[in-house]
Amino acid sequence: MGEYNEINDFKEVLFTREQIADMTKSLGKKITQDFSEKDLMVMGLLKGSIVFMADLLREIKLPCVLDFMAVSSYGNGTESQGRVQILKDISESVLGKDVLIVEDIIDSGVTLNFIVNHLKNKGAKSVTLCTLINKPERRKKEVDVKYIGADIPNEFIAGYGMDYAERYRNLPFIGVLKEEIYS
């Protein structure tokens, strides 16, 4: 099959590899300062968060426990269905831990609202949200996002872990997909 060039599927690049690295470094520095006296667990949401989370972990200069959850609220569409299903729960105990949820993008807030409550019910001391990309105008459920790489308008984006139909996750940039790709 060879190399593929999916750049033609995008109408614009929102964030380059360098811009993403700068945002990640800044977030890591703030998290390191804020969690310096805490029992930190960094929890990623599969699959989208994995690229950002790997880079962010290298910028957090603290000991931490790492875990993942896999949830679904989208199915194969572009709109959250409003029902959250846990596909893979955390493996580690959150009892008494300060949990930092790392997400690639937060839009409706439905999934994160569910997960925050889920982890608090499991005994987490605190649950804090970190996202690379925030789409506040799409909120259906309010969530308190403490660490935000960038706010963006309501555009359909992909790249750097974010996908459309499982494609584009491995691209080093974040771009706005052309409408004909996802409609």
Reported as a single tens digit per residue, the pLDDT across 13-67 is 999 999 999 999 999 999 999 999 999 999 999 999 999 999 999 999 999 999 9
Q: Measured between alpha carbons, how far is 31 from 129 in angstroms, rounded to an integer?
A: 11
Q: Are 162 and 150 in contact (CB under 8 A)?
A: no
Q: Measured between alpha carbons, how far is 126 from 50 in angstroms, rounded to an integer?
A: 22
Q: What is the mean pLDDT of the chain?
A: 92
Q: Measured between alpha carbons, how far is 156 from 152 in angstroms, rounded to an integer?
A: 10
State the pLDDT confidence band at 75, using cuts at 50, 70 and 90: low
Question: Which residue out of 55, 98, 104, 107 is catalytically annotated?
Answer: 107
Query: What dotted CATH number matches 9-182?
Result: 3.40.50.2020
List, for residues 95-139, the tens digit of each pLDDT value: 999 999 999 999 999 999 999 999 999 999 999 999 999 999 989
Q: Measured between alpha carbons, how far is 148 from 140 in angstroms, rounded to an integer?
A: 18
Q: Measured between alpha carbons, how far is 171 from 130 in angstroms, rounded to an integer?
A: 21
Q: What is the pLDDT of residue 1?
A: 40
Q: Measured between alpha carbons, how far is 69 from 115 in angstroms, rounded to an integer?
A: 9
| Residue 107 is among the residues annotated as catalytic for this protein | yes
Q: Which amino acid is at 40?
A: L
Residue 79 predicted with pLDDT over 80? no
Q: Which amino acid is at 131?
A: T
State the pLDDT confidence band at 2, using cuts at 50, 70 and 90: very low
Q: What is the pLDDT of residue 4?
A: 54
Angle between helices 17-34 and 50-59 (to 10 degrees): 60
